[in-house]
């Protein structure tokens, strides 16, 4: 049986975007972000994170830093009984200083590759799913994958999410 999903962008949605966040000690959750994940979990949604991480391509940090930060985020969410079903990130950038990451990738938003990869791996009800992002590229990726995109700019993320789950969760395909 398919179930809906909430796709969250990371920097600027789940955590404050202070520029190339990769250090655990510097991650600051957005107000209501952890609670938003739990609300989506409790409502029966898959919860995914889809994030461009060009800092890897720019040589600012390594993929191991991204993975360690995601593990820390998962552990911190578990404290309140919340979880992320999958973290997806794209380390590629066409202007990368690290050659192995210098490429155009279908996984880099605004392309829908990360979302499409998750749709292949999980039984997602696309018509009842949403993506929450803070940039037009997030919304473009959602649209390209057939997912409704919602632009988040500020405020309590849990309060932002609640009405969206009610609105989209009641739709059927």
Cα gap 168→129, rounded to integer Å? 7
Question: Which of the four pLDDT bands, split at 50, 70 and 90, describes residue 139?
Answer: very high
Residue 118 structure tokens: 């998750």
Residue 170 pLDDT exceeds 60? no
Instruction: Output the pTM of the full model.
Output: 0.94
Catalytic one among 11, 125, 134, 138?
Answer: 11
Q: Is 11 a catalytic residue?
A: yes
Q: What are phi and psi of 33, to 5 degrees?
A: -65, -50
Q: Note whether residue 55 is domain-resident.
A: yes
Q: Note whether residue 166 is domain-resident.
A: no
Q: Domain of residue 67: give its range.
A: 1-6+15-28+46-125+144-152
Q: Is 42 a catalytic residue?
A: no
Q: Note whether residue 172 is domain-resident.
A: no
Using DSSP's 3-state secondary structure scheme, residue 113 falls into: helix
The residue that leads in pLDDT, 47 or 172, is 47
Q: Note whether residue 56 is domain-resident.
A: yes
Check which CATH number belongs to the domain holding 20 and give it: 3.40.50.1000
Residue 154 pLDDT exceeds 70? yes
pLDDT in tens, 56-111: 999 999 999 999 999 999 999 999 999 999 999 999 999 999 999 999 999 999 99
Domain count, the chain: 1
Q: Note whether residue 36 is domain-resident.
A: no
Q: Note whether residue 167 is domain-resident.
A: no
Q: Note whether residue 112 is domain-resident.
A: yes
Catalytic one among 9, 125, 134, 138?
Answer: 9
């Amino acid at each position: 049986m398919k179930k809906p999903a909430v796709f969250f962008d990371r920097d600027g949605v789940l955590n404050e975007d202070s520029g190339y966040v990769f250090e655990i000690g510097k991650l600051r959750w957005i107000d209501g972000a952890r609670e938003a994940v739990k609300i989506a979990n409790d409502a029966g949604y898959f919860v995914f994170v889809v994030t461009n991480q060009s800092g890897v391509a720019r040589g600012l940090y390594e993929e191991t830093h991204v993975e360690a930060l995601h593990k820390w985020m998962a552990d911190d969410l578990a404290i309140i009984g919340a979880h992320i079903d999958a973290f997806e990130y794209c380390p590629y950038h066409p202007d990368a200083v690290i050659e192995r990451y210098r490429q155009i990738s279908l996984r880099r938003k605004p392309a829908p590759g990360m979302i499409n990869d998750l749709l292949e791996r999980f039984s997602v009800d696309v018509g009842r799913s949403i993506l929450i992002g803070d940039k037009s590229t997030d919304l473009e990726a959602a649209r390209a994958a057939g997912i409704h995109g919602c632009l988040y700019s500020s405020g309590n993320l849990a309060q932002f999410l609640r009405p969206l789950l009610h609105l989209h969760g009641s739709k059927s395909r």
